[in-house]
Amino acid sequence: MKRFLVAVLLLTGTLCFASDDLSKQATAFYSDNNYQKTMDLILQIPESERSAQDWLLLGNVLEDKGEKENAIFMYQKAKVTNPKYYKAYYNLANNYADNNQFNMALENYKKAASLNKENPYIYYNMACTYIKMGDLKKAKTNLNKAIMLKSDIPDFHYNLAYVYKELGKQKLAQTYLDNFNKLTQSQ
């Protein structure tokens, strides 16, 4: 009986290492934009052993192929696999925002922000969603957060200039438009 247990443990350990290797290889292929190889490798990993990152990569590949519904399913699987994996919420939010499902987008952006308060793009995309909804005050708040975290992104300043212009604050709008122009000239 002891030998069987040891053999099972060794076999299980080997499978975990194999899954880790496949996952690392898939991530490398994804970074090189080789989406088919990424998918092929991840699909070799048993579903029960896939990480949140694996599910996210599958979702990204499917989204790139135009399979939005399947991508959403994969992002949901990533959330279930690791409820603290902010990237799954972020990608879901982006997908919902692209499909004008603003309330679902905001719910997922807020969850992503609660899990990673240091990512300026979460706040930026949340602000863009608020702009589309016409809630300029919340857009302003989120754009300011994004700029506080990363002040060298021209689009952050451009959108904040737009928000201030729409709010009737011309001087502030001009300040951020000037920032935008300086940032784009230096690139």
* pLDDT on residue 14: 39
CB-based contact 72:95 (threshold 8 Å): yes
* pLDDT on residue 44: 94
Ranges of the chain whose pLDDT falls below 70: 1-18
Tokens of 41: 């490798």
CB-based contact 139:131 (threshold 8 Å): yes
Q: Which residue's structure tokens are 């692209």?
A: 98
Tokens of 53: 């990152």
* pLDDT on residue 3: 38
* pLDDT on residue 139: 98
Residue-level length of the chain: 187
d(CA 66, CA 36): 14
d(CA 129, CA 97): 7
CB-based contact 75:46 (threshold 8 Å): no
Question: What DSSP element (H or E) covers 138?
Answer: helix 136-149
* pLDDT on residue 51: 95
